[in-house]
Amino acid sequence: MARIVDVAALAGVSTATVSRVLNGKPVRADLEAAVRRAVDELGYSPNRTARSLRRQHSEVLALVLPDIENPFFTSLARGVEDVAQESGLSVVLCNTDEDPDKQEQYLQIAEDENMVGVILAPAGRSPLLARLVERDRAVVIVDRAVPDDVDQVTFDNLELGRRATQSLIDRGYTRIACVTGPEETPTAVARAQAWRETLESAGLPAPDDLLVHANFRVDGGQSAMTELLELSSPPDAVLATNNLVGVGALRVLAATERGDVGLGIIGDLPFVTSSVDNVSLLQLRPREMGLTAARMLVERIRGDAGPARRVVQPTLPVTLGSPGT
């Protein structure tokens, strides 16, 4: 089995230079190329266990998500995985089911197993990150902002809510309801706030009976849409503040043949049961969020000690119907 000294000898460099290349540290381009050639020629594979002991952490990162069945988070995870693979890291995927206690268990495991870092879409408003930060573990928050001084990649949820609501107003609807997520989920609250503010600015009503908090899943969208259609004065349009809620709303509208009710959806539709040609869609591109978050994490792992960064994903234009149709 080839050793690091063999790689250094073949490349004509010191073992320290080989180590720097393998750990992603900057070296001269010609030296890096020589090391890479030697590694390939010898089939050298670093002793990962020994490296983990020296570094006091593994080459594994935890990706902690609230609902891995939601295609939004599946796509986000793909972005993280792509960058991790390029960087020589492995990913452990953890599903919290929106349960803060389950989330804390996973964060504790990440600490106990000396994982190199954590990418987290929080369940609840205040995940316990202090111990990870104190132990110099890289942490990046995605999708749902937290008050902690750590790297974060989020959306402008007020702008998303405003833009999606305005698209329905511009289409002539005047009694617009909102189906959003649980009241403890910041994204759900912000998008609903923007819905209300946009309607009020346009001089349109935003009564409490037109705002429904549901779970951020298909069944939540179905039950909420059914509830709204049963009102004595039902809405003429509905804003669904995430993708699966939108799918649930579409299913009810199709089943009840209510093609007269307008629909706006914040999120990329993973699958549908009826035509979306008359639906206002505001895409989010979660894979881009995953790519960005993973790159930020890798930068921290490689020694970036700068101040915490907050990246806000760009808000895209609303489209009528599925893009490309």
**Is residue 292 pLDDT above 60, yes or no?**
yes
CB neighbours (10 Å) of residue 249? Answer: 30
Question: How high is the pLDDT of residue 318?
Answer: 96
- Where residue 136 falls among pLDDT bands split at 50, 70, 90? confident
Length of the chain: 325
Mean pLDDT of 262-276: 80
- Is 80 exceeded by the pLDDT of residue 58? no
Specify the 3-state DSSP secondary structure of 325: coil
Q: Tell me if 208 sits within 8 A of 231, measured CB to CB.
A: no
Considering only 14-23, 59-68, 226-235, 265-274, which range has the smallest mean pLDDT?
265-274
What span, in angstroms and rounded, lies between the C-alpha atoms of 265 and 223? 16
Q: Would the pLDDT of 238 be above 90?
A: yes
Alpha-carbon 138 to chain mean position = 17
Domains of the chain: 4-46 (1.10.260.40), 56-155+286-314 (3.40.50.2300), 157-284 (3.40.50.2300)
Q: Which residues contact 186 (CB under 8 A, 6 or more apart)?
A: 125, 144, 145, 157
Regarding pTM above 0.75, the answer is: yes
Q: According to the model, what pLDDT value does residue 1 have?
A: 65
* Tens-digit pLDDT profile for residues 175-184: 999 999 999 8
pLDDT digits (tens, 9 = 90+) for 182-235: 998 999 999 999 999 999 999 999 999 999 999 999 999 999 999 999 999 999
Q: What is the pLDDT of residue 230?
A: 98
The Cα 59–Cα 269 span in angstroms is 34
Contact assessment for residue 14 and residue 29, using Cβ atoms and an 8 Å cutoff: no
3-state secondary structure 118-180: EEECCCCCCCCCHHHHHCCCEEEEEECCCCCCCEEEEECHHHHHHHHHHHHHHCCCCCEEEEE
Question: What are the beta bridge partners of residue 154?
Answer: 143, 312
Tokens 């609902």 found at: 67
